[in-house]
């Protein structure tokens, strides 16, 4: 008999990935950064502590972060890179086309992951529900610790306006790692 609880307990748990676009108070232009922790868990056990969940695409012009099944995320990132090639690196158009395929394709529909994609101008959340979200407040977060990291980033942007996007991402991930059991302090950050 199909046991949903057992299936959920045995699959890899999520992570925390956050991207922030921020203009330092008094600065002339915004910076953008994305970061993720390195923990992967299987059930209630840490399976690996230094997974690299950040990937550069298009010669580093687009950076992605993923949460969910690693194999599924790699499959989706390959498809996303193909879409970027087909649409002249237009990130939003490629994301929309990936989300359409992801939702309607019989094989892709079963993949369990989420992606954040950033370029120098924008950040997007892409999901298998057909969502391509350009979030408010220039903060995108996914994974089990995402709401902790997002809350921290919102507060840091508001009350520490002199921090860079990279510093906000780092501090937000540290706070999430202190709270979320599926997030650790092995943090990787990339910026544009």
Active site residues: 15
Q: How many CB atoms lie within 10 A of CB 19?
A: 33
Contact 172, 155 (CB under 8 A): no
Residues 6+ positions from 135 with CB-CB distance below 8 Å: 123, 125
Which of 115, 147, 148 lies closest to 132, judged by CA?
115
Please give the order of strands across the beta sheet that includes 16-22. Answer: 139-143, 16-22, 31-36, 188-191
CA distance 170 to 124: 19
In angstroms, what CA-CA distances link 165 with 132, 133, 160, 184, 192?
22, 20, 11, 20, 10
Q: What 3-state DSSP class applies to 180?
A: coil
């Amino acid at each position: 008999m199909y046991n949903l609880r057992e299936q959920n307990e045995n699959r890899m748990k999520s992570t925390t990935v956050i991207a922030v676009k921020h203009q330092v108070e008094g600065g002339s232009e915004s910076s953008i950064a994305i970061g993720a922790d390195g923990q992967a868990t299987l059930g209630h056990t840490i399976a690996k502590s230094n997974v690299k969940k950040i990937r550069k695409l298009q010669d580093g012009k687009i950076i992605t972060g993923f949460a969910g099944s690693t194999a599924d995320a790699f499959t989706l990132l390959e498809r996303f890179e193909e879409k970027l090639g087909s649409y002249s690196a237009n990130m939003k158009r490629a994301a929309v086309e990936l989300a359409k395929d992801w939702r309607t394709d019989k094989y892709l529909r079963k993949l369990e992951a989420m992606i954040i994609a950033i370029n120098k101008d924008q950040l997007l959340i892409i999901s298998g529900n057909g969502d391509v979200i350009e979030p408010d407040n220039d903060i995108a977060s996914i994974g089990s610790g995402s709401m902790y990291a997002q809350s921290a980033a919102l507060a840091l942007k508001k009350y520490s306006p002199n921090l860079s996007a990279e510093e906000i991402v780092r501090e937000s991930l540290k706070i999430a790692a202190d709270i979320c059991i599926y997030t650790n302090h092995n943090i990787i950050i990339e910026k544009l």
